[in-house]
Structure 1
Amino acid sequence: MADTSATPNAWDTAQPLPGTPPDFSDRRDTIDTPKGRYWELSESGWDAMLGYLADPATLARYAETRQHQVEVKVIDSAGERTFFVPRTADDQQIIDEAANSYLRDVGLPQRPTGYRWFQRLPGDLTAKDIDEAVYAAIRDLPRNHHPAEAVPAIRAALKRLYRRRVGDGATADPLLWAGGSRSARRPVTTPRAGGRNPHLPSWLPSGRMMGPAGALRKPPDPWGCPPLHRR
């Protein structure tokens, strides 16, 4: 299922981020720039898909120069100990391949390596609002659906989200953008964890990553997608 909706490739047309991002940002943080508010896509395939399926003009990139670290926990006869080591090129290749494997599964172009990726937020919304709109759009799909089957609904939800919000100051209501009815809407629930995507490698590294400023953070979901898409 190759993507034919964006010509040229949205990764190739992404503009430089208009500003300098913080060394560390959570995916739900808002980054203010002279040209609008952005959120940073995580390294997962799921966020890469969201970034690609929205308006290509909202996508931005920034060269990755940070030195990440991985927390290693060792349990042996001497007990348990934890220490940090630099993320190696092999570690990074595994992370990138996990994301690109997911993108291939959903029929989208692979994400170039060596960059941090950002997306301009619509109006005054946040990444949480985007998540809620997307989850509402796919909540009625079978639980064992292939990730590619969700792409049309996600693309449509993001299109409505950006069309409604960019420049018009409309009131936020992610469920309405996802095609729902305010009077008949159901609460959006967090997808249940469990299982894994069989299309992705099972030998990915675990541990937490740490940016150069020492801010400890969890690694991206190694399966590259939210629990709703794991099997």
Structure 2
Amino acid sequence: MTNWNLFLVVDAEPVELSGGPDRIVLLEGRRLLSLPDNGYPLLLAWAAGPRRVVRTPVPIHPDQEIVDAFVNSYLVEAGVPPRPRGFAWYLDLPDGVEPPDVWRAAGGDGARGSSVDLHRVRGAMERGMTALYGGELT
């Protein structure tokens, strides 16, 4: 995959099914995990690919330049292009898949504060998403 433009834009308002840190929404019949606008979840979106991720337009936050700097530097360090601004991102949750399954598959149980090679994190996420969803993701 070479570009964020392959990710579907859905111009609809998601319906919240559950709140909290692992917010689940319904959007055009799809059950989705809301991905916060920060580096790790958006690296996960890239690893899952455009067949498993959709985005919706959202207003630009007043501190968007600061958010962009942090998010995009994380993505670039992982070998991923900067993500476009002005979108909320969502990952498919098929029947039987819950947010803890996604984070476990992504390798989200690493030690906090340890040095990280983001290229390795990205590779682990890609393998985890392929295993979780089965087969090719792009």
Please report the TM-score for the alignment, with normalisation by the length of structure 1. 0.50
Cα offset, 1:46, TM superposition? 0.5
**Correspondence list, 1:130-169, <5 A:** 130-135=102-107, 139=110, 143-163=114-134
Cα contact 2:78–2:118 (8 A) shared by 1: yes
Tell me if the contact between 1:30 and 1:126 (Cα under 8 Å) persists in the aligned partners.
no
Structure with the largest fraction of helix: 2
Once the two structures are TM-superposed, the CA of residue 152 in structure 1 deviates from its matched residue by 1.4
| Number of equivalenced pairs | 132
Between the aligned partners of 2:20 and 2:55, the Cα distance in structure 1 is 16
2:70 paired with 1:98: yes
Q: Distance in 2 between matches of 1:34 and 1:92?
A: 27
- Displacement of 1:156 in angstroms is 0.5
What are the within-5 Å matches in structure 2 for residues 9-20 of structure 1? 9=3, 11-17=4-10, 19-20=12-13
Q: What residue identity is the alignment partner of 1:101?
A: S
Q: d(CA) in 2 for partners of 1:18 and 1:156?
A: 30
Unaligned runs of 5+ in 1: 1-5, 67-86, 165-231
Q: Where does the alignment leave 5 or more consecutive residues of structure 2 unmatched?
A: none
2-structure distance, mates of 1:119, 1:160: 15
Q: Answer yes or no: is 1:118 the counterpart of 2:90.
A: yes
Aligned CA distance change for structure 1 residues 124 and 31 (closer, same or farther; 3 Å): farther
2:49 to 51, 55, 58: 55
Shift of 1:33: 3.0
Q: Does the C-alpha gap of structure 1 residues 114 and 65 become closer, same or farther in structure 2, counting only changes over 3 Å?
A: same
Is the CA contact (8 Å cut-off) linking 1:27 and 1:41 kept in structure 2?
no
One-letter code aligned to 1:55:
G
Task: Indicate the structure (1 or 2) with the bigger Cα radius of gyration.
Answer: 1
Q: Which amino acid aligns with 1:52?
A: W
Distance 1:27 1:39, change over 3 A: farther
Per the normalisation by structure 2, the TM-score is 0.80
